[in-house]
């Protein structure tokens, strides 16, 4: 529940009054011009006052802000003196949602003073005031209190904030950490937003007061990196899935959530009737508490859907009002349960309030993506789906790995994840246009081009179409992948080259010019200017003309018509300039009552008058004259003034002095003014915007003046009762929105419209949807908007008609928008057929809906009984995708609906080294170390030949045996070796038993528990003797013994080969390295007692023995060495006192030396990489390179191993068809030698053990988190 601008409730007799905002948007084009300070001191050089009489609050939109270092623009409230200081370093300038328009804080009162203070010598400083949003107050009603009394009390919590939108409606937000805010999704409508803390008490009359500038934080707009809303929000939120996660930027004084703990406590499990509390900024009948932070407690509602932690919703009975939406609901342990979004409590203790649970998996995932928060410490993992597989992870870990989180506690058994479609259209190479349905692997084996999972062989055929060579405008027939990889522009399945579709020319779209073919231009929603038309000079630029702007519409500026309307100005038309300021020339304005005012045209429009032209006069009065008028609603002739005819009746005026005898309102006179789309059969086509570069069509003006009343079927319980006009559009398989919520007449009352949408044919229409009043329309909620799923290729008819019985006509603007995601329709307008899904199930769906759901359409009229959906069929060891009936007719073995050929379930001959043969699948054969003979092979007769090799017997002889036969008598020297070519004398060596040596084979030595010293080794000299050296004992005693004997006797071993000839052991003291580095000279025993490391008898502290540090090497390994030695051998020394166990050495990058896009590994990305890249796309899953790759790439074996590194050009952690477009773009504009495609270069990757530099794909595969493009380990601090 957001306290919405202009919202009035029909209050019951028990409702209490409260004050709410009503907002007004005002164009206010004021320009300070360029200002300078030529003095040696800071100085205020310019100022003005923006006043809006009668307003209680004001927020301003600024532009063209030019401030230098040390400059300040001060905005000061006339009412309470609150000051906002804007500098060049204001965080709003760097916010991703900032696009040149700066939003001020909200000021109390109706006037704001501007003061431009410049630093010494500052020049060219400037500001413009574009517009203002002001607010006054009306009386509203209190609702959703759970009982007779409002039990809320004042609270103090800087982490619970008030969110105020552009219409001065407000809701409640919750700061989780310094910049992360969670609220209700419907609260985030109508930006920009002001996030406020420390909100003061309202006035004695209930007028809300806004806090100081330091406690207001502006969110200019939401971007994919700064905010995520629940699907359908803000205008179409549903209870239980109504949430938003937003990053709130700092202001110049600090962070909005300073001191707010990001590691909050959560309650995912809760019983009904539990004690709950919440705090929010709801409206109140107590004047000083209106819109101020209040809190209350109450139970969870026993009607909550069981179990309590199951989405979509929870219910409670805590007192709330409008403005409390988004407030956190907590349990008795102060743990967050969810967020309040819905009010339904009543004063008689009926109903309930409701909200969205914190356990909503989409909300938890958004917290990870926007705020990098571990929700509740990631305390309760659940099912995470990725490519059809299920893993139990927390929401953040799931999001980091590209998965979809299904909710806390959700199980992976049975697997809840949708299977990945396995089959699609395969275009066979060498046979243009030939297509069959196959898996990606099967398509590769057939030498074809895979069109993608879920695609079909038509119609239309996906395998051939026109391919335009961009530079030459020539056309060739080619497959889609062939066209794309050759740098061409594919014109679509089934297109031809006659006539040539490739003749390119200028294409105009939204004022911009692109060079495109006529087909590409039309597909993108553009207007083709003709073959050969150039973009220089730009033929698409909209013309500029005089635009009357400013508070009184008297300032003349040259603007395009769109820019003038956006600034709230009046455009005077093409050819009118500002050489003579026509904006300052008043004229006669005829009002409907017949009086005349000598005013500006803009003022006349505001008064709803009829302006007779610049310079026209009111003496004598030109407005009192009357004449015949035919009302735009039809009917008979009336005699009225010109203004009454135009303004009130939307009529046709026949001139001063004319009358209704004879009646001029004949069909012949009216016919030229009847809209051409008055009838359904003459519906005007609407262009559905393309998916690139825009999803928004330009609004167009239309009228229902002189249209007839239509009689189509009632739609959504609305039957047309006023004149209307018809439009039509062709569906694109996506959600389409048609809206009249675009008012082109700022000073006229908007026409009250109704939109009705039908499909079918004009004599037999079927209702799809309809809308009368759209409450989310910021222009006027009497305008309309409809959103529906438009099935691909289907025609939809839209009727725009008025509200009321016959008398409602007017002018309106119509706009079409479309989504990028496919959708499924709720009204079946297209013919149905069987739709097969990867699990083998079948549903009756249209072709468009089937494709959207990832199914395979079996044709119009096909049915699901019997089930036509295919599965894996084995015929002579070869797997193909067939229906059960087709498989049986071919004599094959059917493995069930939805079964696939990857891996193949078909068994064939599998040979082993002993010559045995088993019928196994390829997967099972490889797992058993067998040799698969492939499809069509059989074990009858046995095709397997035993493999033999030289067997060196223990007695020194040699026999050619199988490995199994040799195992008990000798040592097997490998398959393919023979006794004729292998010398078993080299297969023996020295075998040590203690210090005794004998010559044996390796197998015999191992069997007898000896220590084999290597093939060909000898017993002379004896390799079994243990080395000896000097061993120092207490009191300086020395003996030459083995190291083992010395250590067993408690001595200090001085190394192999040392002797007792010197005074090595005298005295028995030596250097002792104590913990963390200090050195002292002591005995071995004393050193051990102090936890030190004894460095040997006779050593001292001057030798640097205790200066060992961890030493990291380039291969990621670590050794503890003297710091000087570490540097001398190329290591990187750590810190004294550290050990290798405490040191995370940087690991080498897995893709070091591999350039993204360099498919032939020659150190450069260019045309020579195309063939290798294509083989990589087609055979990505093959562990060995195909022969075609080896033919075009030297050293292809080693290069193929790195295909994930050079193939993942779009940086999505996969190497597949989605990498083709960025690779083609890279080849067309190749990077310099030694550099890879810029779309996916190595960057810093944070691992649990430290930082490496790797491409994101490898970083994700190692469980790491990429730090972002351009980062490196030298400048990145990993958490």
Instruction: Compute the average pLDDT of residues 768-796.
Output: 85
Pick the range with the lowest mean pLDDT from 40-44, 263-267, 970-974: 263-267
Phi and psi, residue 1217, nearest 5°: -60, -25
pLDDT in tens, 827-857: 878 888 888 876 778 888 888 888 777 787 8
CA distance 270 to 309: 7
CA distance 697 to 525: 8
* Of 786 and 849, the one with more pLDDT: 786
Is the pLDDT at 746 greater than 50? The verdict is no
Pick the range with the lowest mean pLDDT from 308-312, 445-449, 931-935: 308-312
What pLDDT sits at residue 309? 41
CA distance 992 to 1021: 12
Is the pLDDT at 266 greater than 80? The verdict is no
Confidence (pTM)? 0.39
Length in residues, the chain? 1279
Residue 234 · residue 270 · CB < 8 Å:
no
H-run or E-run covering 370: helix 361-371
Are both 17-368 and 676-822 of the same fold? no
Distances (CA, A) of 212 to 59, 93, 122, 1175: 14, 20, 29, 64
What pLDDT sits at residue 141? 60
Distances (CA, A) of 659 to 90, 620, 626, 629: 66, 22, 8, 8
What pLDDT sits at residue 220? 86
Residue 1169 · residue 1177 · CB < 8 Å:
no
What pLDDT sits at residue 609? 75
pLDDT in tens, 394-419: 887 787 777 788 887 788 888 888 77
Q: How confident is the model at residue 1143 (pLDDT cuts 50, 70, 90)?
A: confident
pLDDT in tens, 886-896: 788 888 888 87
Q: How confident is the model at residue 680 (pLDDT cuts 50, 70, 90)?
A: very high
Cβ atoms < 10 Å from Cβ of 1138: 16
What pLDDT sits at residue 1123? 63
Q: How confident is the model at residue 194 (pLDDT cuts 50, 70, 90)?
A: very high
pLDDT in tens, 10-25: 222 223 345 556 677 8
CA distance 64 to 337: 45
Instruction: Compute the average pLDDT of residues 55-60.
Output: 89
Pick the range with the lowest mean pLDDT from 270-284, 454-468, 559-573: 454-468
Supply the DSSP string of 55-102, one letter for each residue: -SEEEEEEEEEE--TT-EEEEEETTT--EEEE-TT-GGGGSTT-SSEE
Is the pLDDT at 138 greater than 70? The verdict is no
CA distance 7 to 283: 13
Is the pLDDT at 791 greater than 80? The verdict is yes
Q: Ramachandran region of residue 1035, left (φ > 0), alpha (ψ -120 to 50) or beta?
A: left
Instruction: At 448, list the tokens.
Output: 């074809």
CA distance 1109 to 1126: 8
Mean pLDDT value across the chain:
79
Is the pLDDT at 780 greater than 90? The verdict is no
What pLDDT sits at residue 368? 83
Q: How confident is the model at residue 1007 (pLDDT cuts 50, 70, 90)?
A: low
What pLDDT sits at residue 200? 92
Pick the range with the lowest mean pLDDT from 210-219, 375-384, 625-634: 375-384
What pLDDT sits at residue 605? 66
pLDDT in tens, 584-607: 667 788 887 778 887 776 667 666
CA distance 818 to 788: 10
CA distance 914 to 948: 8
Of 184-188, 433-437, 1202-1206, highest mean pLDDT: 184-188
Residue 53 · residue 59 · CB < 8 Å:
no
Is the pLDDT at 84 greater than 80? The verdict is yes
Phi and psi, residue 196, nearest 5°: -130, 140
CA-nearest of 220, 193, 132 to 567 is 132
pLDDT in tens, 1065-1085: 655 567 777 765 567 767 777
What pLDDT sits at residue 182? 94
Is the pLDDT at 614 greater than 70? The verdict is no
CA distance 453 to 434: 18
Q: How confident is the model at residue 481 (pLDDT cuts 50, 70, 90)?
A: low
Is the pLDDT at 129 greater than 50? The verdict is yes
CA-nearest of 239, 248, 83 to 181 is 248
Instruction: Compute the average pLDDT of residues 312-339.
Output: 86
Of 479-488, 511-520, 722-731, highest mean pLDDT: 722-731
| Candidate CATH numbers 1.10.1760.20, 2.60.120.380, 1.20.1260.10, 2.130.10.10; the one for domain 676-822 | 2.60.120.380
Question: pLDDT over 90 for what percent of the chain?
Answer: 12
H-run or E-run covering 1243: strand 1243-1247
* Residue written as token pair 């490496």: 1252
Of 44-48, 83-87, 329-333, 557-561, highest mean pLDDT: 83-87
Q: What is the CATH number of domain 17-368?
A: 2.40.10.120
Runs of H (alpha helix) within 791-863:
847-852
Distances (CA, A) of 949 to 913, 915, 971, 974, 1278: 11, 13, 10, 5, 55
Question: pLDDT over 70 for what percent of the chain?
Answer: 80
Is the pLDDT at 697 greater than 50? The verdict is yes
* Residue written as token pair 């590691």: 263
Instruction: Compute the average pLDDT of residues 454-475.
Output: 68
What pLDDT sits at residue 692? 42
Q: How confident is the model at residue 4 (pLDDT cuts 50, 70, 90)?
A: very low
Runs of H (alpha helix) within 825-977:
847-852, 884-889, 922-927, 963-966
Is the pLDDT at 342 greater than 50? The verdict is yes
Phi and psi, residue 80, nearest 5°: -125, 5
What pLDDT sits at residue 694? 40
- Boundaries of every domain in the chain: 17-368, 381-418, 430-531, 544-672, 676-822, 831-869, 948-1012, 1109-1142, 1167-1266
Is the pLDDT at 452 greater than 50? The verdict is yes
What pLDDT sits at residue 71? 93
Instruction: Compute the average pLDDT of residues 895-906.
Output: 74
Q: How confident is the model at residue 58 (pLDDT cuts 50, 70, 90)?
A: very high
């Amino acid at each position: 529940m957001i306290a919405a601008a202009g919202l009035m409730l029909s209050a019951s007799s028990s409702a209490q009054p409260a004050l709410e905002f009503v907002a007004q948007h005002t164009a206010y084009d004021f320009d300070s011009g360029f200002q300078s300070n030529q003095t040696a001191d800071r100085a205020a050089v310019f100022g003005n006052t923006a006043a809006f009489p009668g307003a209680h609050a004001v927020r301003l939109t600024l532009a063209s802000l030019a401030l230098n270092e040390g400059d300040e623009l001060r905005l000061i409230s006339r009412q309470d003196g609150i000051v906002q200081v804007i500098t060049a370093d204001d965080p709003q300038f760097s916010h991703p949602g900032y696009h040149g328009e700066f939003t001020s804080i909200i000021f109390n009162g109706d006037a704001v003073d501007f003061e431009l203070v410049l630093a010494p010598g500052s020049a060219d400083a400037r500001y413009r005031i574009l517009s203002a949003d002001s607010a006054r107050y009306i009386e509203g009603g209190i609702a959703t209190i759970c009982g007779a009394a409002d039990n809320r009390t004042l609270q103090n919590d800087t982490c619970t904030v008030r969110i105020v939108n552009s219409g001065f409606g407000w809701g409640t937000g919750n700061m989780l950490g310094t910049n992360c805010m969670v609220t209700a999704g419907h609260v985030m409508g109508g930006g920009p937003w002001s996030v406020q803390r420390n909100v003061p008490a309202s006035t004695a009359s209930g007028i809300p007061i806004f806090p100081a500038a330091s406690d207001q934080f502006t969110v200019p707009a939401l971007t994919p990196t700064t905010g995520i809303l629940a699907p359908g929000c803000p205008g179409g939120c549903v209870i239980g899935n109504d949430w938003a996660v937003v990053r709130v930027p700092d202001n110049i004084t600090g962070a909005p959530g300073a001191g707010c703990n990001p590691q909050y406590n959560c309650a995912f499990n809760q019983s009904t009737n539990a004690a709950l509390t919440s705090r929010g900024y709801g409206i109140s009948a107590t004047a000083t508490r209106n819109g101020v932070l209040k809190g209350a407690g109450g139970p969870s509602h026993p009607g909550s859907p069981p179990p309590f932690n199951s989405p979509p919703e929870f219910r409670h009975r805590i007192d709330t009002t409008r403005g409390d939406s988004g407030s956190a609901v907590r349990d008795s342990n102060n743990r967050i349960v969810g967020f309040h979004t819905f009010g339904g409590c009543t004063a008689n203790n009926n109903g309930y309030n409701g909200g969205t649970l914190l356990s909503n998996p989409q909300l938890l995932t958004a917290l990870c993506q926007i705020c990098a928060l571990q929700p509740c410490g990631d305390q309760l993992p659940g099912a995470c789906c990725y490519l059809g597989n299920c893993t139990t992870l927390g929401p953040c870990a799931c999001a980091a790995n590209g998965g979809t989180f299904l909710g806390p506690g959700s199980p992976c058994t049975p697997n809840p994840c949708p299977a990945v479609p396995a089959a699609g259209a395969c275009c066979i190479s060498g046979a243009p246009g030939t297509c069959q349905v196959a898996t990606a692997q099967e398509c590769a084996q057939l030498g074809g081009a895979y069109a993608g999972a879920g695609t079909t062989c038509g119609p239309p055929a996906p395998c051939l179409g026109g391919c335009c060579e961009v530079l030459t405008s020539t056309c060739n027939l080619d497959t889609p992948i062939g066209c794309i990889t050759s740098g061409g522009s594919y014109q679509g399945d089934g297109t031809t080259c006659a006539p040539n579709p490739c003749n390119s020319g200028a294409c105009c779209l939204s004022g911009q010019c692109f060079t495109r073919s006529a087909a590409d231009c039309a597909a993108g929603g553009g207007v083709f200017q003709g073959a050969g038309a150039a973009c220089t000079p730009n033929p698409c630029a909209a013309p500029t003309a005089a635009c009357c702007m400013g508070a009184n519409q008297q300032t003349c500026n040259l603007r395009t018509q769109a820019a003038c309307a956006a600034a709230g100005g009046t455009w005077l038309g093409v050819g009118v300039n500002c050489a003579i300021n026509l904006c300052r020339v008043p004229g006669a304005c005829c009002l409907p009552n017949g009086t005349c005012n000598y005013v500006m045209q803009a003022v006349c429009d505001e008064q709803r008058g009829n302006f007779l032209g610049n310079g026209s006069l009111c003496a004598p009065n030109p407005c009192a004259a009357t004449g015949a008028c035919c009302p735009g609603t039809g009917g008979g002739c009336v005699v009225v003034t010109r203004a009454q005819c135009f303004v009130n009746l939307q009529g046709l005026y026949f001139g001063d002095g004319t009358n209704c005898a004879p009646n001029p309102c004949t069909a012949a006179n009216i016919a030229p003014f009847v809209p051409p789309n008055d009838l359904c059969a003459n519906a005007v086509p609407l262009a559905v915007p393309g998916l690139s570069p825009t999803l928004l069509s330009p609004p167009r003006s239309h009228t229902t003046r002189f249209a007839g009343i239509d009689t189509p079927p009632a739609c959504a319980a609305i039957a047309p009762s006023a004149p209307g006009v018809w439009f039509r559009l062709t569906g694109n398989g996506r959600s389409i929105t048609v809206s009249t919520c675009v008012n082109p007449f700022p000073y006229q009352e908007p026409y009250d419209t109704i939109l009705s949408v039908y499909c079918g044919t004009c004599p037999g229409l079927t209702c799809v949807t309809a809308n009368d009043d759209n409450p989310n329309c910021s222009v006027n909620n009497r305008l309309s908007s409809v959103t529906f799923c438009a099935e691909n290729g289907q025609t939809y008819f839209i009727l725009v008609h008025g509200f009321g019985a016959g008398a409602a006509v007017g002018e309106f603007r119509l706009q079409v928008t479309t989504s990028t995601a496919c959708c499924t329709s709720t009204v079946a307008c297209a013919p149905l057929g069987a739709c097969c899904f990867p699990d083998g199930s079948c549903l009756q769906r249209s072709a468009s809906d089937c494709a959207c759901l990832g199914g395979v359409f079996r044709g119009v009229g096909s049915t699901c009984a019997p089930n036509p959906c295919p599965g894996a069929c084995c015929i002579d060891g070869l797997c193909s995708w067939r229906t059960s009936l087709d498989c049986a007719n071919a004599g094959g073995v059917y493995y069930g609906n939805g079964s696939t050929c990857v891996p193949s379930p078909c068994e064939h001959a599998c040979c082993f080294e002993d010559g045995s043969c088993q019928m196994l699948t390829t997967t099972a054969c490889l797992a058993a170390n067998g040799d698969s003979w492939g499809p069509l092979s059989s074990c009858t007769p046995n095709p397997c030949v035993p493999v033999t090799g030289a067997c060196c017997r223990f007695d020194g002889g040699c026999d050619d045996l199988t490995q199994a036969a040799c195992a008990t008598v000798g040592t097997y020297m490998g398959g393919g070796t023979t006794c004729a070519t292998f010398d078993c004398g080299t297969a023996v060596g020295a075998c040590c038993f203690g210090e005794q040596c004998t010559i044996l084979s390796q197998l015999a030595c191992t069997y007898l528990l000896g220590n084999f010293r290597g093939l060909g080794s000898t017993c002379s000299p004896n390799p079994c003797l243990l080395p000896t050296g000097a061993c120092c004992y207490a009191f300086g005693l020395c003996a030459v013994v083995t190291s083992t004997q010395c250590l067993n006797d408690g001595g200090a071993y001085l190394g192999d080969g040392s002797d007792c000839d010197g005074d090595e052991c005298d005295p028995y003291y030596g250097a002792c390295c104590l913990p963390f580095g200090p050195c002292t000279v002591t005995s071995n025993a004393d050193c051990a007692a102090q936890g030190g490391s004894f460095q040997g008898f006779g050593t001292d502290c001057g030798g640097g023995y205790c200066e060992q540090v961890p030493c990291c090497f380039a291969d990621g390994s670590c050794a503890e060495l003297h710091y000087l030695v570490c540097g001398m051998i190329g290591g990187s020394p750590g810190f004294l006192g550290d050990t290798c166990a405490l040191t995370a050495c940087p690991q080498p990058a897995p893709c070091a030396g591999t350039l993204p896009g360099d498919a032939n590994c020659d150190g450069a990305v260019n045309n020579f990489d195309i063939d290798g890249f294509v083989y990589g796309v087609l055979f990505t899953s093959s562990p060995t390179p195909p022969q075609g790759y080896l033919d075009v790439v030297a050293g292809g074996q080693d290069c193929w191993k790195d295909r994930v590194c050079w193939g993942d050009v779009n940086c999505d952690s996969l190497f597949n068809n989605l990498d083709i477009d960025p690779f083609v773009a890279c080849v067309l504009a190749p990077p310099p030698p030694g550099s890879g495609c810029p779309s996916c270069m190595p960057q810093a990757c944070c691992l649990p053990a430290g930082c490496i530099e790797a491409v994101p794909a490898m970083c994700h595969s190692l469980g790491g988190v990429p730090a972002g493009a351009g980062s490196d380990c030298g400048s990145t601090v990993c958490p």
